């Protein structure tokens, strides 16, 4: 998986466990797309301090995932629901029974709600 996408997921799941300073630097860099130099100027710290803070924050987020596995479970569940939805769509094509089509439509809606 793309490193930035993975970090974004980690932040979505564990961001509230970070300090305000960690969140601020992370958001400035990854969400506002500011360079390390721009962040340093904004916060009156060195570029190296910004880099160190980002690396420390990334390690903390990865540590939370290593212990809690919430992102991994989320991704596995999402994949399973997508597979289930595909099976449901295949069943719908093979069985034109009205009652079955209604039940399948309801299951597809539930799967879509879970995925969105």
pLDDT tens-digit series, residues 42-51: 999 999 999 9
Fold of 3-68: Arc Repressor Mutant, subunit A (1.10.10)
Looking at every residue in the chain, the average pLDDT score rounds to: 91
pLDDT of the residue at 69: 96
What digits encode the pLDDT tens for the residues 61-101? 999 999 999 999 999 999 988 998 888 888 878 877 777 77
What pLDDT is stored for residue 2 in this prediction? 84
pLDDT at 1 over 60: no
d(CA 58, CA 26): 9
Long-range contacts of 28-31 (CB under 8 A, 24+ apart): 29/54, 30/4
């Amino acid at each position: 998986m793309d490193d930035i996408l993975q970090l974004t997921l980690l932040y979505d799941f564990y961001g509230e466990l970070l300090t305000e300073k960690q969140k601020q630097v992370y958001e400035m860099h990854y969400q506002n797309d500011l360079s390390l130099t721009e962040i340093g100027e904004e916060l009156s710290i060195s570029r190296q301090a910004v880099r160190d803070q980002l690396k420390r924050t990334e390690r903390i987020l990865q540590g939370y995932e290593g212990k809690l596995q919430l992102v991994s479970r989320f991704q596995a569940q999402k994949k399973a629901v997508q597979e289930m939805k595909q099976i449901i769509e295949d069943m719908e094509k093979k069985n034109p029974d009205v009652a079955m089509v209604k039940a399948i439509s309801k299951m597809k809606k539930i799967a879509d709600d879970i995925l969105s």
